[in-house]
Structure formats: C-alpha cells, structure tokens
C-alpha cells in the first residue's frame, strides 16, 4: 500500500494543470487519466480531467449527481471512449474491457445471475478467465471463505440478504484477480451497520491483494474513511476542469470505524470537503 504522504505528493500536482507537469520519478501508474474530456451530444460532461492511480491506492470520487462519476468508470472500462485526452491502463490506452479490471456495481441484485448458485456466480468469473474446471472448486471455496459466504455456497442469490449479495459480487470480482477494482457506490443500498462491516472487509481484502481501487460514492465520510485520496468532481464543468479539488487523506491504516472517525484529521477533512460540497450544490 502506498503511503499516504506519497499519495498526497502525487495528487497535489494534478488539479487544473496540464499533463506535462506530472512527477516523473514515480512507479508507473496503474491508471492514468490524461486531460480527459467527454461530450454527451453538445454537453460536456467531463472536462480536462487528469489524475493517476498507483498500485495499492484507494482513490474515492465524490461529487454532485450528474457530475459524471459513473461515466468515469465507463471510461476506465473502455465501454465509452473519451472525446479528448486519454485513459491509460498500465501505460496503454484503454480500448475495451480488460480481464484485470473488475467492477462492483451498486445494484448487486441485477448484477448477479439469479439462476446460478453462490458458487456458480463466482465460477462465472473463473470460466471467463479460462480456469480449468478441476481448479475451480477450490478457488471458489477460498474466495467464498474470504467474504464469509463459505456456508452459503449452494444457495441462490435471491435467498441472500443484500449485504451477502454484495459480498458475493465482490467475491466474483476478486475471482478475476483484478489489478484494478472499480466500485460504483457499492454500499449505497445497504443499511448503515452492514455498510460499515463491508467497508472494513473490503479494505482488508484489497490491502491483502494489493488491488488498486477506484471507489465512487456520494457519502463524504465513506470517501474519507476508505480513501488514500478523495477526488471531488464538479458537475457542468464548462471551461473548468472536472476535478474541482483533491483531498489527500493522511489517516493511518488499518482504519477503525470508531477511532479513525474521531481523529482530528478525519474531522478536518470532513469539514473541508463538506464546505466544498455545500458551495457547489
């Protein structure tokens, strides 16, 4: 996991400046947004967006609805192409879905295959990756163990609670052994207790695997709690950059639902980010 001070040094450079000023000496970025712009018809949804994500970082994105948070993910998967600029994955322009990029969707109920068991849903990712049948069972078992679903392998998604369904989707994404995990408001539909549990489980899992995470949320505190950095996007950027502000998060890891949220730094960030959100709404 990158240290948070290093994260801040990188990210501080990013807003509103051209691409040529990026720090040269860093390890290569896993993901690089390079002056990206995107138009939907005549409307510019994303403008002059530049940021890098380095291995093991957790970057959270907040912003008002309609600011292109989910669009950001689609750009990363190559499902849509930028109107200008470039999105790079390990240095190469993104042209389409890559096996080592996984998405956790918010609507877990729609993203899971209702006709397959819990184990079968995880198996889907292994089948896609061409894992031989003989190896699948053991890997499924390990993955389900990691997300606490080992006891439920033969159930169907419809028989699980929302939190368990989202755990299952995370397990299926981890089965891809992704270098980058994209999460689109994954815990937004869950109750507060389940959300906190899943936040901690997710942090443990990605820390253990060294996965780089781009986490979209509308929950400010969640963004600060999870992230090494919080990117605040603005809606209708016009001539400005979509990236309104970057908040580096200097909070020690592992994080703790009680003590982390009581740290002066957490409260300071919360106030700062909250002020920003209030201004832009």
Partner 1 sequence: MKADLRGAVVPLGLLLLAEAGMRLNQVQSDALARPSEVGLALWQALLDGSLWLSSGQTLGAALAGLGLGGGLGLLLGLWFGLSRAAAQASSLSVELLRPVPSVALIPLSMLVFGFGFRMEIAVVAFTCFWPMLLLSQAAIRQVEPRLLEVARMLGFNPWDRVAKIVLPAALPRIFVAFRLSVGIALVVGVTVEIAANPQGLGYALMSAQQSLRPDLMFALLLWLGLLGWALSAGLLVLQQRWFRHSLPDAAGDRP
Binding site for partner 1 (CB under 8 A): 77, 79, 97-99, 101-103, 105, 107, 110-111, 113-116, 124-125, 127-129, 156-159, 176
Least gap, CB of 144 to partner 1 (angstroms)? 18
Q: Which is nearer to partner 1, 77 or 242 (CB)?
A: 77
3-class state of residue 19 by DSSP: helix
Least gap, CB of 30 to partner 1 (angstroms)? 17
Least gap, CB of 148 to partner 1 (angstroms)? 21
Taking Cα atoms as reference points, which of 194, 199, 198, 149 lies closest to residue 171?
A: 149
Strand 229-233 relative to strand 58-62, pairing? parallel
Taking Cα atoms as reference points, which of 48, 5, 7 lies closest to residue 27?
A: 7
Tokens of residue 164, six digits = 């368990």
Q: How many CB atoms lie within 10 A of CB 273?
A: 20
Q: Which is nearer to partner 1, 103 or 251 (CB)?
A: 103
Least gap, CB of 230 to partner 1 (angstroms)? 25
Q: Which is nearer to partner 1, 157 or 227 (CB)?
A: 157
Strands (E), the chain: 31-40, 43-53, 58-62, 84-89, 92-93, 101-104, 180-184, 212-216, 229-233, 243-248
Least gap, CB of 97 to partner 1 (angstroms)? 5
Q: Which is nearer to partner 1, 88 or 116 (CB)?
A: 116
Least gap, CB of 143 to partner 1 (angstroms)? 15
Q: Is the C-alpha dihedral spanning 114, 116, 118, 121 positive or negative?
A: negative
Least gap, CB of 140 to partner 1 (angstroms)? 15
Exposed, middle or buried, 166 (CB in 10 Å: 0-12/13-18/19+)?
buried
In angstroms, the CA 180 to CA 183 distance is: 10
The residue behind tokens 């290093």 is: 6
Q: Which is nearer to partner 1, 117 or 245 (CB)?
A: 117
Q: Which is nearer to partner 1, 104 or 223 (CB)?
A: 104
Q: Which is nearer to partner 1, 61 or 122 (CB)?
A: 122
């Amino acid at each position: 996991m990158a240290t948070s001070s290093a994260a801040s040094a990188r990210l501080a450079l990013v807003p509103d400046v051209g691409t040529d000023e990026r720090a040269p000496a860093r390890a290569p970025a896993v993901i690089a947004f390079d002056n990206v712009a995107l138009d939907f018809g005549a409307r510019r949804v994303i403008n002059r967006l530049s940021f890098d994500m380095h291995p093991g970082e957790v970057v959270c994105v907040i912003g008002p609805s309609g600011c292109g948070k989910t669009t950001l993910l689609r750009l990363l998967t190559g499902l849509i192409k930028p109107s200008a600029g470039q999105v790079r994955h390990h240095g190469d322009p993104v042209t389409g879905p890559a096996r080592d990029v996984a998405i956790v969707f918010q609507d877990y109920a729609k993203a899971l295959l209702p006709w397959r068991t819990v184990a079968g849903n995880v198996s889907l990712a292994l089948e896609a990756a061409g894992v031989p049948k003989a190896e699948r069972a053991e890997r499924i078992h390990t993955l389900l163990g990691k997300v606490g679903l080992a006891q439920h392998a033969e159930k169907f998604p419809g028989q699980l609670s929302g939190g368990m369904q989202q755990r299952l989707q995370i397990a299926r994404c981890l089965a891809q052994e992704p270098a980058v995990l994209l999460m689109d408001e994954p815990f937004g539909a869950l109750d507060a207790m389940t959300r906190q549990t899943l936040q901690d489980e997710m942090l443990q899992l990605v820390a253990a695997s060294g996965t780089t995470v781009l986490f979209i949320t509308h929950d400010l505190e969640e963004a600060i709690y999870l992230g090494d950095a919080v990117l605040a996007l603005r809606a209708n950027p016009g001539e400005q950059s979509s990236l309104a502000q970057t908040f580096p998060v200097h909070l020690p890891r592992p994080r703790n639902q009680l003590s982390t949220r009581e740290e002066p730094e957490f409260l300071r960030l919360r106030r700062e980010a909250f002020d920003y959100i209030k201004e832009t709404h």
